[in-house]
Structure 1
Amino acid sequence: MRILNIKDEQLNLLQALKPFLEPKAQEMLELVTVVLNVFKPEEPDVPINIQALTSLLSMIDEKEESKNG
């Protein structure tokens, strides 16, 4: 069960823009890509992509640690 119907080609197009963006925009693009991947599971019967969710939570944790430390 896919929540979003986003093709890999569309995500690759977003990633192709990354080198042309400023560092803050690159971070934002990376975050958006990971969030989109959370709702694009590998298995059709699974509602979310657990690996992408783990990556998202790690990104959030790293950001919090850098703000606090």
Structure 2
Amino acid sequence: MPYVQRWRKSSYSGDVDGNACVELAHGQDAAILLRESDEPGTVIATTPAALRALTRAVRAGRFDHLSR
């Protein structure tokens, strides 16, 4: 049986089609998969530890200067 990904997006994104949001899924070998909802064919794989480090940095505001 082939592996089937179950993509999830934030509840903040709502259920309206066309929302541009990041979606996550569990991949094979404990990988975490990320994609942009409006570009579902482009997928990035990372590790749970790297994703945790990224989300902590975002919450801490370490990338805020990039959006100014």
With normalisation by structure 1, the TM-score equals 0.30
Q: Which has the higher contact order (CA 8 A, sep 6+)?
A: 1
Question: Which structure: greater helix fraction?
Answer: 1
TM-score (norm 2): 0.30
Structure with the higher fraction of residues in strand conformation: 2
